[in-house]
Amino acid sequence: MNLDRYLARRQQQVERFLERCVPPGSDTLTEAMRYSLLAGGKRIRPALAVAACETVGGDVVRVMPFACGIELIHTYSLIHDDLPAMDDDDLRRGRPTNHIVFGEAVAILAGDALLTEAFRIMGEAAARAGTRQASAIQALTEIAAAAGARGMVAGQVADMQAEHSAVDLPTVEMIHVRKTGALLRAAVRAGALLGGARAPALRRLTRYGEFIGLAFQVADDILDAEGTTATTGKRTGRDQARSKATFPAVLGLSAARQRAQDLLASAVRELQSFDHRAEPLRAIARFVVGRACPK
């Protein structure tokens, strides 16, 4: 199995499906939605959902609407995070942020529309899910819970409130489990559920998702602290400038890097009982941490 080629092929499938989620149109709203959705992100969340589905021998076609629904939700959260009232960022994925190009009002609405369309797309898929209908509804509901008032949005509020105040490690973890971890975990679980995972496999994959969710945020924090705009495509050093609650801020860079490696090891350990079909999940875990901890 050529893992790189495999992952590239999956990536292409995701891009094609995303393209169909918001088809081209001549109106400003469509243009603004596509501007941010099709800006060539890493597509970690869809990749996790697809790979989790394959790990348990599921059919990738079933999981694609959910994998991409999660990416629409992730994209809306980036657009809203970048707004002047929030993080006030002007650069994302190497390009001007949505509100810089389309104005604040359209950026807010483009985010709202992406979030809403995600549920339309997942709802339509659930309607066609046949014998997997119960799993499809569970996936949709878990994704909403992970993105909502006790998940991602709660994490964003806690993150804002922690700015410029002294925070400890448990607080940083609590913020990041919600802000980033919940949706990454939901991506893995959605893939596993739609792939037909039985309870023990689902439990192991859930723990994998939790470890990888936290590892992802530790790596992101490290990249913000020491990456450059050229390598990350966004302004770096912003966390420190705003005294954000980050892992490097409470642990120091070196211990944060060790933490990311430990989380990677824990994530991969959860995959021990799975066969070669878990290779993509192992590769994604290494990639997530490798970005911030080069060999």
Assess 101 for contact with a copy of itself (CB under 8 A).
no
Report, in this order, helix, strand and coil percent for the chain, each rounded to 5.
75, 0, 25
Report the residue number, 109 or 253, with the smaller CB distance to a copy of itself. 109
Assess contact for 95 and 39: CB atoms under 8 A: yes
Assess 184 for contact with a copy of itself (CB under 8 A).
no
Assess 90 for contact with a copy of itself (CB under 8 A).
no
Length of the chain: 295
CB of 240 to a copy of itself, least distance (A): 20
Q: d(Cα 75, Cα 232) in Å, to the nearest integer?
A: 16
Assess 29 for contact with a copy of itself (CB under 8 A).
yes
Whose structure tokens read 């909403």? 144
Q: d(Cα 220, Cα 11) in Å, to the nearest integer?
A: 21
Whose structure tokens read 């120091």? 252
Core vs surface per residue 55-64: b (16+ CB within 10 A) or e: bbebebebbb
Report the residue number, 60 or 126, with the smaller CB distance to a copy of itself. 126
Assess 231 for contact with a copy of itself (CB under 8 A).
no
Assess contact for 55 and 198: CB atoms under 8 A: no
Select from 14, 18, 22, 245 the one that contacts a copy of itself (CB under 8 A): 22
Q: d(Cα 260, Cα 240) in Å, to the nearest integer?
A: 19
Assess contact for 208 and 188: CB atoms under 8 A: yes
Assess 108 for contact with a copy of itself (CB under 8 A).
yes
Select from 9, 20, 42, 120 the one that contacts a copy of itself (CB under 8 A): 120
Assess 153 for contact with a copy of itself (CB under 8 A).
yes
CB of 138 to a copy of itself, least distance (A): 6
**DSSP annotation of 131:** G
> Which range of residues in 11-19, 39-47, 124-132, 236-244 is near a copy of itself by CB under 8 A?
124-132
Q: d(Cα 26, Cα 261) in Å, to the nearest integer?
A: 46
CB of 20 to a copy of itself, least distance (A): 13
**Which residues between 154 and 173 bind a copy of itself (CB under 8 A)?**
154, 156-157, 160-161
Report the residue number, 117 or 221, with the smaller CB distance to a copy of itself. 117
Assess contact for 184 and 209: CB atoms under 8 A: yes
Select from 48, 56, 113, 222 the one that contacts a copy of itself (CB under 8 A): 113
Q: d(Cα 247, Cα 207) in Å, to the nearest integer?
A: 20
Q: What binding mask, one character per residue, do residues 59-78 give for a copy of itself by CB under 8 A, x or -?
A: -----------------x--
Q: Biggest alpha carbon distance in the chain?
A: 52
Name the site residues for a copy of itself (rule: CB under 8 A): 22, 27-30, 33, 76, 80, 83, 85-86, 103-106, 108-109, 111-117, 119-120, 123-124, 126-127, 133-134, 137-138, 140-141, 144-145, 147-149, 153-154, 156-157, 160-161
